[in-house]
Structure 1
Amino acid sequence: MAHILVVEDEVKLARFVELELSYEGYQVSVAHDGLTGLTIARESHPDLVILDWMLPGLSGVEICRRLRTTGDQVPIILLTAKDEVGDRVAGLDAGADDYVVKPFSIEELLARVRAHLRRTQETGSDVLQFADLSLNRRTREVYRGTRIIELTAKEFDLLEYLLAHPRQVITRDRLLEQVWGYDFMGDSNIIEVYIRYLRLKLEANTEKRLIQTVRSVGYVLRE
């Protein structure tokens, strides 16, 4: 079930869109101002966002910009009464994927929702998988088989990088640069510490080891 966030300050319109989406089988969250919408988007990682352009607090365009600057690639559909070419360009340049002008047909909006969700599912880029280990970049969920694994932010980043480069030997220097940042000035043993944390969590039920040590070089994800 796809999760859709609707951010719309017109309460009746928001309720109408919520009911139509729910009827189509989607899980729906609703916010009536920009700051609340941005907070929900960051915390719940929806599969798609429907954003009104004009909102109290933060505009829909500003929400787009803020989500995109943090790397969030959730599909975004802007709802607006603005229909000038310059307005459409501004919305798309801010990171919106699509644009629906008010008043709109609910059938058209639902069709666009289906198209963007289908496109996201086809790319499959949000889910990384190796053996029985899977990681969802958008929801930040990690599973070993059917067992969910709770990770800290940095443990997640480290595992994500290893999963993005399976069977490749990754040096410690490369991990420091890519996961901790080029300007990291901490203890270089931090990698060993976090690898140990990951192994403890990934192998908590005596599962086979997937993160292997390559002596004097680094680490590799392989069976």
Structure 2
Amino acid sequence: MNILRACCVQCQQVLAIAAHGLCCRCYRNIPRYSYCGRCGSRLQENAPICGRCLRQKPNWDQIVVASEYRKPLSDLIHRFKFQNQFWLDRTLARLLYLAIRQAKRTHGIALPEAVFSVPLYHTRQWQRNYNQADLLARYLATYLRLPYHADVLWRVKNTPSQRGLSAKARRLNMENAFTISNKITQFSYGSVALVDDVITTGSTLNEIAKQLRQQGIAHIQVWGLCKT
């Protein structure tokens, strides 16, 4: 009798715990590093803020990143986003969940009151069939027992791809790209987390965080799989 067994999404080794998605060896191959708790930049040791953030702080307050954009994580993310392998959501969300738990110890992260995700423009989501940030956020909200709102943030501008753009061009690209639904007035959150998959210059997150500030949200965290 054939028995179906869950295998590692990276090396195909049979897993002892199917929900983990990655075997122990592949999990250890994902590099961890010390980083600035404000912007996510690599540091020699973990710190709440770096010199660059002292000069120009991002619009959010704290950040959590699981790793850098390097193999094998970069390959998993590419498969997740561009090869229709949406079923990698649980594995990748677990990586970020473990990073959040670690950041509670290393960066003093306190859990927010709710979770949001970076939205896609509706035509792009239709072409991809899903929003990868939304899939990650749903799992994280479940793991952390937090409310998740998928209908609060909207991307109203069909911006060109950010890939290959300079930091300044990215900022200009994101201006007026998002709006916040009136539904946010139903809540009185003082702190929220904003989930994305890959954080590059942070221009997208900065634009959303600026609008969340205008809604009276005092503390904003950014959670991402990796920082490039």
**TM-score bracket for the superposition, by shorter chain length:** under 0.3
**Under a length normalisation based on structure 2, what TM-score does the superposition of the two structures give?**
0.23
Tell me which structure has the larger Cα radius of gyration.
Answer: 1
| Higher strand content, 1 or 2 | 1
Query: Whose relative contact order is higher, 1 or 2, with alpha carbons under 8 Å and at least 6 apart?
Result: 2
TM-score, normalising length from structure 1?
0.24
